[in-house]
């Protein structure tokens, strides 16, 4: 399984300057190659005897001219321009396969990054060695074992990180899940998650105050004169705050998915129809906040590492509207209704706990029927889609 471990770097000033220059070189090479690609493609359309553009040819082309035209490129690792053009090739592959839009030019200050192949760096405990630069301190050691494939060094606001991609042997380096059986998880609007056990996992605490500050800062930014030093400063401040909020969310999400996969071997979740929900403006924000896809991605790879499984309900499965006690299905249940009484059996339900219990039952019955036994008659009849246990690449070096 391909996974990546992201670690903060502690570069000194000289090193930070080098990292910025390497990222700048990568961006320049990417943009140069993209412009060349367009030009060569148009030339090929006009005259089919000319070669079609390719990342291999563009890399050769850049190598042939860089000494003369871009001598400053030689000051940083040769991986920076080379890997950027390989990534452009991947971006075009994704475009041709219909998975992504046409590649666009990289912008300065937006996801600045460069990638090193595994023969171009080495790790030693809490440090990483980068060509032409030497050792840079990492905040922690690499926690994964397996074959190291690449390292991508990137900047978020004013901080540098390295993301090390590792091909790990399957479910061998994490302890198996504790045997707490199955669980259903309802990702919520009010709480981060509600479990079928009745536990509520609140969202990260620091969050709300920071969101208020975010609103204030973006307002103050909009009042600053364009091009002024004050605007630049306010922008940097805002970027820092965004990064901090994202880090808090990521941390909360990792804690939740680690805890779940550590305790339960089978986890039932919903397959949210995110497109449909985004149409609902009230929900859009919270769904984006919860980043449901990230939740599912983490659950799936962490469960696979512990030998567990994730069962995803059919996207039309009404986990909220169905009574988990008798199976009675409501016609409607507005989002504002947090508690309801089942007209079928009289049980009083907490909306989220009920949904989580249904998801748990769904997961249980799907694993039972997968073994060829019959599920209990009370369980909701729904089409189940087992979690893809395929070797998912949870890290894409683009
Ligand atoms: Zn009922």
**Whole-model pTM above 0.95?**
no
- Band of pLDDT at residue 382, cut at 50, 70 and 90: very low
Residue whose C-alpha is closest to residue 204's, from 192, 216, 194: 192
Residue 267 in 3-state DSSP? strand
Give the lowest-confidence range in 172-186, 319-333, 347-361: 172-186
Give the total residue count for the chain: 398
Evaluate the CA torsion angle 8, 11, 16, 20 in order and state its sign.
negative
User: Is 251 considered catalytic here?
Assistant: no
Please identify which of the residues 112, 352, 373, 392 carries the catalytic annotation. 352
List the single range of 14-28, 65-79, 121-135, 183-197 with lowest mean pLDDT: 183-197
Q: What is the mean pLDDT of residues 366-390?
A: 45
Catalytic residue selected from 112, 182, 270, 300: 270
What distances in angstroms separate CA 58 from CA 30, 34, 113, 388, one per listed residue? 10, 9, 20, 37
Is there a catalytic annotation at residue 158? no
For residues 309 and 265, is the Cβ–Cβ distance under 8 A? yes
State pLDDT tens for residues 2-58: 888 899 999 999 999 999 999 999 999 999 999 999 999 999 999 999 999 999 999
Percent of the chain clearing pLDDT 90 (strictly above): 50
The tokens 């497109």 sit on which residue?
A: 275
How many whole angstroms from 345 Cα to the centroid of ligand 1?
A: 4
Tens of pLDDT, residues 128-173: 999 889 999 999 999 888 899 999 999 988 899 999 999 887 655 5
Assess whether 270 carries a catalytic annotation: yes
> What share of the chain has pLDDT > 70, as a percent?
84
Angle at 96 between CA 94 and CA 99, to 5 degrees: 40
Mean pLDDT of 229-233: 90
Given the residues 47, 186, 199, 212, select the one marked as catalytic.
186
Beta-strand pair 309-313/384-386: antiparallel
């Amino acid at each position: 399984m391909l996974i990546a471990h992201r670690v903060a770097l502690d570069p000194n000033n000289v090193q930070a300057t080098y990292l910025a220059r390497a990222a700048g070189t990568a961006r320049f090479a990417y943009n140069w190659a993209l412009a060349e690609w367009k030009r060569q493609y148009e030339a090929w359309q006009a005259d089919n005897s000319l070669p079609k553009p390719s990342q291999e040819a563009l890399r050769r082309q850049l190598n042939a001219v860089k000494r003369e035209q871009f001598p400053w490129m030689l000051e940083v690792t040769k991986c920076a321009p080379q890997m950027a053009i390989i990534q452009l090739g991947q971006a075009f592959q994704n475009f041709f396969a219909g998975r992504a839009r046409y590649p666009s030019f990289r912008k300065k200050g937006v996801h600045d990054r460069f990638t090193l192949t595994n023969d171009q760096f080495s790790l030693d405990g809490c440090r990483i060695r980068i060509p032409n630069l030497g050792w840079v301190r990492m905040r922690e050691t690499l926690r994964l074992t397996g074959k190291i494939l690449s390292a991508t060094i990137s900047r978020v606001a004013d901080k540098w990180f390295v993301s090390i991609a590792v091909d790990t042997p399957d479910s061998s380096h994490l302890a198996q899940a504790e045997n707490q059986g199955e669980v259903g998880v309802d990702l919520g609007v009010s709480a981060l998650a509600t479990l079928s056990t009745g536990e509520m996992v609140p969202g990260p605490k620091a969050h709300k105050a920071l969101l208020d500050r975010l609103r204030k800062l973006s307002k103050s930014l909009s009042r600053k004169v364009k091009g002024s030093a004050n605007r630049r400063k306010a922008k940097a401040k805002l970027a820092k705050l965004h990064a901090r909020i994202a880090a808090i969310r990521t941390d909360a999400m990792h804690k939740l998915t680690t805890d779940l996969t550590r305790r339960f071997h089978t986890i039932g979740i919903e397959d949210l129809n995110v497109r449909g929900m985004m149409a609902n403006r009230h929900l859009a924000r919270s769904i984006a906040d919860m980043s449901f896809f990230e939740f599912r991605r983490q659950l799936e790879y962490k469960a696979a590492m512990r030998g567990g499984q994730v069962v995803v309900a059919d996207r039309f499965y009404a986990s909220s509207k169905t009574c988990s006690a008798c199976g009675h299905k409501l016609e409607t249940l507005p989002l504002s209704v947090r508690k309801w009484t089942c007209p079928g059996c009289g049980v009083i339900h907490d909306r989220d706990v009920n949904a989580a219990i249904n998801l748990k039952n769904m997961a249980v019955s799907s694993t039972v029927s997968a073994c060829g036994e019959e599920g209990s008659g009370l369980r909701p009849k729904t089409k189940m889609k087992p979690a893809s246990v395929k070797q998912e690449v949870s890290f894409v070096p683009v």
